[in-house]
């Protein structure tokens, strides 16, 4: 019945006239004001080509900022107003799918841009053995897909083939969230402001920890919860702080409050701190298989892959695209906290060769950006 209702609603939405001047955005099923749609929205706002356009962010009320550019309207997901904008918008930009904007896809006749939310290190979409049939309904199709390299484009074509992805509609350009890192890599004022917001001294060496989401296991490592004296001593001796955030899909206790245990060099990051801002101020990144380390390549800083559960992820979860995981790693592997301590004591320049090698293999796009591609179409968002 749900499929029937969604199909009918989608087909009926094609009869509504659409305005090329209305652009709508959403991310993470309405639960976050972030990721590629947000950074692309900001690029639209900074473009002279789109001064007369109406920008609409659709999501849950709880995520709306108190202050933002007055040209952006924030509209509650599944409200009558959000339905009206979906029926009238000529272009829509999402990080996950149509459900970023509402329970129904009301975008037939509009251009829909699947921006996704990272480089596919892990199997996604139809490439995930457990989801090979997903995306087969007509209301799940998109007109454009974004990939930050030819490698990603190939994976998008197979992973999202049921959603309509082909070689002809995948746009190869940097992800907007990568644009943000690259454009602000040397913005000392912004980085100092972010550190101040987190209560971190400018002289502190910052280590970001972002583990990936695991579908089939509850085994999650947390530095905040792990009491390792040797690690804490190493961090204190070297004026280091670890900023930790568990994957959004795993963490059921999303909060905007800081959690920093007394006298420990760990901070459990609140949800209202942007991941890209954390990456900007970080000197190291610790992750496992999360694609966030591909973003971090933009900054050419040390990456450590912390595989605290050994090869369990490879055996029991969705698996990786590369048959040899190390081939797509951006740095050395630590299997234990002891390994991690040893790596943190190495000079940073010892991480550069592996970092640079991965950048060369992936050949990540840098120009033109997506906003430049859209601007080149006479300032109009239309078929690219």
pLDDT single digits (tens) 126-136: 998 888 888 88
pLDDT of residue 384: 44
What's the whole-number mean pLDDT along residues 142-158?
Answer: 98
Average pLDDT of the chain?
Answer: 91
Please check whether residues 326 and 355 belong to one and the same domain. yes
Distance CA 363, CA 361 (A): 6
Give 172's strand partners: 147
What's the whole-number mean pLDDT along residues 88-101?
Answer: 98
What's the whole-number mean pLDDT along residues 177-192?
Answer: 97
Query: Are 377 and 384 contacting, i.e. CB atoms less than 8 angstroms apart?
Result: yes
Please check whether residues 87 and 218 belong to one and the same domain. no
What's the CATH number where 146 sits?
A: 3.40.50.11820
pLDDT at residue 155 tops 50: yes
Q: Is residue 360 packed enough to be buried (19+ CB in 10 Å), middle (13-18) or exposed (0-12)?
A: exposed
Look at residue 338 and tell me if it is in a domain: yes
Please check whether residues 206 and 150 belong to one and the same domain. no
Look at residue 28 and tell me if it is in a domain: yes
Q: Are strands 89-94 and 170-172 parallel, antiparallel or unpaired?
A: unpaired
Distance CA 317, CA 312 (A): 8
The number of distinct structural domains making up the chain is 2
Residues 223-260 pLDDT 10s: 888 878 899 999 999 999 999 987 555 554 444 455 55
pLDDT at residue 208 tops 60: yes
Query: Are 215 and 317 contacting, i.e. CB atoms less than 8 angstroms apart?
Result: yes
Please check whether residues 142 and 207 belong to one and the same domain. no
Look at residue 228 and tell me if it is in a domain: yes
Residue 144 has φ and ψ, to the nearest 5°, of -140, 145
Which residues, 6+ apart, have CB-to-CB distance to 335 below 8 Å?
A: 307, 308, 310
Please check whether residues 187 and 292 belong to one and the same domain. yes
pLDDT of residue 285: 98
Please check whether residues 169 and 205 belong to one and the same domain. no
Please check whether residues 209 and 82 belong to one and the same domain. no
Query: DSSP letters of 282-341?
Result: -SEEEESS-THHHHHGGGT--EEEE-TTTTHHHHHSS-BSSSSGGGG-SS-EESSHHHHH
pLDDT of residue 1: 87
Look at residue 382 and tell me if it is in a domain: no
Q: Which range among 101-110, 202-211, 223-232 shows the weakest confidence by mean pLDDT? A: 223-232
pLDDT at residue 363 tops 60: yes
pLDDT at residue 99 tops 60: yes
pLDDT of residue 379: 44
Residues 314-343 pLDDT 10s: 777 778 999 888 899 999 999 999 999 999
Please check whether residues 170 and 187 belong to one and the same domain. no
pLDDT at residue 72 tops 60: yes
Look at residue 380 and tell me if it is in a domain: no
Q: Which range among 80-84, 292-296, 354-358 shows the weakest confidence by mean pLDDT? A: 354-358
pLDDT of residue 254: 45
Query: Are 34 and 28 contacting, i.e. CB atoms less than 8 angstroms apart?
Result: yes
The total of other beta-carbon atoms located within 10 Å of residue 249's CB is 11
Distance CA 61, CA 82 (A): 12
Look at residue 321 and tell me if it is in a domain: yes
Distance CA 9, CA 5 (A): 6
pLDDT of residue 6: 96
pLDDT of residue 214: 67
pLDDT of residue 3: 92
What's the CATH number where 343 sits?
A: 3.40.50.12580
Structure tokens at 159: 């992973």
Look at residue 383 and tell me if it is in a domain: no
Residues 280-290 pLDDT 10s: 999 999 999 99
pLDDT of residue 42: 98
| pTM (2 d.p.) | 0.92
Distance CA 103, CA 109 (A): 18
Please check whether residues 318 and 348 belong to one and the same domain. yes
What's the whole-number mean pLDDT along residues 78-85?
Answer: 98
Please check whether residues 144 and 183 belong to one and the same domain. no
Please check whether residues 150 and 204 belong to one and the same domain. no
For 76, the domain range is 2-174+366-375
Crossing angle of helices 176-184/35-45, nearest 10°? 60
Look at residue 162 and tell me if it is in a domain: yes
* Upstream peptide bond of 299 is cis (omega within 30 degrees of 0): no
Please check whether residues 246 and 358 belong to one and the same domain. yes
pLDDT of residue 29: 98
Query: DSSP letters of 133-159?
Result: TTT-SGGG--SEEEESSHHHHHHHHHH
């Amino acid at each position: 019945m749900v499929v029937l209702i969604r199909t009918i609603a989608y087909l009926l939405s094609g009869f509504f006239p659409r305005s090329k001047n209305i652009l709508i955005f959403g991310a993470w099923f309405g639960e976050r004001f972030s990721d590629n749609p947000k950074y692309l929205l900001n690029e639209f706002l900074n473009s002279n080509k789109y001064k007369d356009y109406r920008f609409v962010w659709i999501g849950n009320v709880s995520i709306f900022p108190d202050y933002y550019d007055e040209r952006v309207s924030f509209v509650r997901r599944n409200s009558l107003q959000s339905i009206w904008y979906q029926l009238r918008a000529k272009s829509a930009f999402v990080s996950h799918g149509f459900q970023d904007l509402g329970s129904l896809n009301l975008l037939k006749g509009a251009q829909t841009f699947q921006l996704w939310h990272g480089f596919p290190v892990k199997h996604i979409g139809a490439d995930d053995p457990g989801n090979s049939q997903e995306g087969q309904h007509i209301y799940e199709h998109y007109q454009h897909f974004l990939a930050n390299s030819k490698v990603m484009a190939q994976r998008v074509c197979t992973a999202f083939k049921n959603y309509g992805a082909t070689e002809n509609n995948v746009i190869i350009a940097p992800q907007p969230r990568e644009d943000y890192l690259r454009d602000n890599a040397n913005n000392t004022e912004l980085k100092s402001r972010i550190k101040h917001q987190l209560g971190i001294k400018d002289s502190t060496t910052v280590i970001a920890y972002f583990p990936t989401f695991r579908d089939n296991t509850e085994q999650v490592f947390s530095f905040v919860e792990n009491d390792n004296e040797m690690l804490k001593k190493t961090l204190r001796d070297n004026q280091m702080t670890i900023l930790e955030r568990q994957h959004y899909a795993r963490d059921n206790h999303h909060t905007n409050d800081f959690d920093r245990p007394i006298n420990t060099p760990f901070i459990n990051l609140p949800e209202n701190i942007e991941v890209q801002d954390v990456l900007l101020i970080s000197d190291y990144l610790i992750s496992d298989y999360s694609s966030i380390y591909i973003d971090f390549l933009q900054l050419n800083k040390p990456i450590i892959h912390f595989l605290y559960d050994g090869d369990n992820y490879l055996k029991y979860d969705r698996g990786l695209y590369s048959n040899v995981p190390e081939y797509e790693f951006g740095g050395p592997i630590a299997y234990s906290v002891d390994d991690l301590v040893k790596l943190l004591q190495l000079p940073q320049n010892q991480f550069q060769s592996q970092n640079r090698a991965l950048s060369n293999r992936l050949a990540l796009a840098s120009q033109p950006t997506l906003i430049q591609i859209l601007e080149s179409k006479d300032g109009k968002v239309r078929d690219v």
